[in-house]
């Protein structure tokens, strides 16, 4: 099951860059040598979002340059997990480890706290309960 989710995450990341264009400061390189990759290149992480009451799930991917608010790409079917989730455009981590997903206008879509068994579990909205699990 992890393999299909990994492909979905890779597709989301590709769509994110096609939609938003290249990340400023990162040069496009056809076949980079390990020494040619900039140390400040953005990191990309993918997560599976799971809705506890229905089992509906989808994938999201985040890209950050230096730990600041990160760009967020959301799989199209995420609306079946939480109606507002496809509108989320940013991922911001707080000092306490919590994560906020927000729209481009700054409206909070969901907030998550670190969790045992999952990377994060939602505390806003109160229902439905959502979890984020890293996709390898």
Listed by start position, the domains of the chain span 2-22+42-134
Record the pTM: 0.69
Distance CA 57, CA 16 (A): 19
Distances in Å between the alpha carbon of 98 and those of 36, 47, 82, 105?
Answer: 34, 15, 19, 20
Distance CA 60, CA 18 (A): 15
- Quick one: tokens of 83? 């109606």
Mean of the per-residue pLDDT values for the chain? 77
pLDDT at residue 36 in the model: 44
Distance CA 114, CA 94 (A): 11
26 pLDDT higher than 80: no
Contact 63, 23 (CB under 8 A): yes
Residue range 86-102: average pLDDT?
A: 94
């Amino acid at each position: 099951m992890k393999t299909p989710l990994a492909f979905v995450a890779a597709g989301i990341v590709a769509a994110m860059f096609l939609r938003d264009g290249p990340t400023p400061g990162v040069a496009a390189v056809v076949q980079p040598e390990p020494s040619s990759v900039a140390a400040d290149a953005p990191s990309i992480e993918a997560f599976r979002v799971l809705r506890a009451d229905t089992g509906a799930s989808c994938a999201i991917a985040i890209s950050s340059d230096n730990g600041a608010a990160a760009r967020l790409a959301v799989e199209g079917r995420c609306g079946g997990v939480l109606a507002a989730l496809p509108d989320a455009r940013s991922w911001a981590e707080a000092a306490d480890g919590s994560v906020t997903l927000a729209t481009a206008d700054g409206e909070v879509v969901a907030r998550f706290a670190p969790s045992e068994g999952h990377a994060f579990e939602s505390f806003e909205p109160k229902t439905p309960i959502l979890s984020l699990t890293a996709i390898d």
